[in-house]
Chains A and B, each alone.
Chain A
Amino acid sequence: MSRRILAPVVGIIAFLGLWELFVRVFDVRAFVLRAPSRIVPYLWDNRSDYLAGAWVTGQHAVVGSTISLIVALLIGSAMAGSRFLELAGQPVLTLLQVTPFVAYIASVVLWLGAGTPPALFLVALVCLPAYTFATVDGMRGADADARELLASVDAARWEVLWRLRLPSAMPALFTAARYNAGLALIAAYLVEGGNFANEGLGAIGKRAAAFNEGDALWAAIFAMALLGTMALLAISLAQRVFMRWHVSQRPQRA
């Protein structure tokens, strides 16, 4: 158990150490790349600003991806139940996935107004494809024998969905959640930079970039990284609780 916490900490410290070393050895100028030894104290000195920003960004990401997950479960179960819907939905979801969302952030803000709504909308939108694909694949992959067994006692559709298909989709959904965690934070950050609300890490980062405040910008990036790490940790914990039965959660041999 202690190894589970120790190993990531060692990994991060090693990475920061290499970074610091690189900046010092090659004498990289501060406007190109700042050394961690300069970013961390700045972040600490301004911690109340960054905590407030992280709180807003974290909320945008968590609420947005929760909405996304719920919508994806609905769309995904429909697509898993009908080949036609699946074929019809796939290209639309792929389109959503490959479109650079930075390009239409301004449109979303114009449409939904300033503040939280566009942030939630965009986060939900960018997380949708991965969650939906995971739902469809996971539900399709439900054990054929178990499906037949439930059919043999005339289990209702919702019973099969709830007792078999949804748990079967859990591993894929957790994988999607890891992938989406970063995506959701980035989407929230970018919308906050353009939603005229002056809230969240995105707003801090945008302002810092506009006024050429390198320390403030890099501190925002560090704060984002910390948020991301916490998100992944939370997902791992949830996975341990909800998927104790799964192969991935068992101690590995040799």
Chain B
Amino acid sequence: MRGLTKDYGDLSVLAPLDLDIEAGSFVSIIGPSGCGKTTLIRVLAGLEPASGGDVLVDDSPPAVARSNKRVAMVPQQPGLLPWRTVHANARLLLDVNRSANPAGAADPLDLLHEVGLGAFLDAYPHELSGGMLQRVALVRALALHAPLVVMDEPFAALDEITRAEMRVLLARLVEGRGATVLFVTHSIPEAVALSDRVLVSSARPSTMVADIDIDLPRPRPADVEDEPRFVELCAQVRHALHGGTR
């Protein structure tokens, strides 16, 4: 993915916006509720047309990227199908529109083992905890081997302890995979711990009020949050966030 530029005026949900995201990087967008982050994700995923400007995902418009299965989504709710087992749910995105499956796409069996669901392959969603469900949703997206993964507050519904575990797990899964990740969140520590870059968005109409490089070295240890540099960066994001809303 070469990156995307975006520059369009919507019904003031998204103010004209220029954005380049480097291939293979992990970028978080953080901002107040209802600031259009979800709209941005939906436009990128090709679920909604941009009302102006150009958006390129991997050198092609989102609609094309979508029909070529180049964008993998992790929604806020896991959205698992209750009649499919864990294994079948993880395969869902590969099972539809098969002709467009990317070359690297493979059965997500290994990934399920990697996230600790190896013993639950034949379990149904109602037998799993919230954190396990969201892990299936992560695997479902990553199994697609799409160059762009968009995540819309995937951990918002989880409790704080599970959330911290998921953070570490996601960092491990994404590391060295080469995919670009666009991660929408409300949590400052989450954004800083995971990202190469944090974009701070203003309230509607959405503009990016800050673009902060997270220069913490990778791979990041699980206790990265105790490092002084981490605390500093969190403070920086927080200031940008409050400056932006005022």
Contact A153 B97 (CB under 8 A): yes
Q: Contacting chain A: which of B14-22, B74-82, B188-196? A: B74-82
Does any Cβ of B come within 8 Å of A241's Cβ? no
Q: Among the listed A146, A245, A247, which residue makes an inter-chain contact with B79, where contact means beta carbons less than 8 Å apart? A: A146
Q: Contacting chain B: which of A95-103, A104-112, A159-167, A186-194? A: A159-167
Minimum CB–CB distance for B80 against chain A, Å: 8
Does any Cβ of B come within 8 Å of A2's Cβ? no
Q: Among the listed A152, A154, A245, which residue makes an inter-chain contact with B82, where contact means beta carbons less than 8 Å apart? A: A245
List B64-86 residues whose CB lies under 8 Å from chain A.
Answer: 66-67, 69, 71-73, 75-83
- Chain A: number of interface residues, binned into ranges: 20 to 34
Using Cβ atoms and an 8 Å threshold, which residues of chain A touch B75? 145, 148-149
Using Cβ atoms and an 8 Å threshold, which residues of chain A touch B67? 154
Minimum CB–CB distance for A151 against chain B, Å: 6
Contact B81 A155 (CB under 8 A): no
Contact A167 B83 (CB under 8 A): yes
Contact B46 A150 (CB under 8 A): no
Minimum CB–CB distance for B3 against chain A, Å: 20
Minimum CB–CB distance for A180 against chain B, Å: 23
List residues of chain B with CB under 8 Å of any chain A CB: 45-47, 66-67, 69, 71-73, 75-83, 92-93, 95-97, 100, 124-126, 144
List residues of chain A with CB under 8 Å of any chain B CB: 143, 145-146, 148-156, 159-160, 163-164, 167, 170, 243-247, 250
- Extra A-B contacts (9), CB below 8 Å, given A145-B75, A145-B76, A163-B95: A148-B73, A148-B75, A150-B92, A150-B96, A152-B45, A152-B73, A153-B93, A153-B97, A170-B83
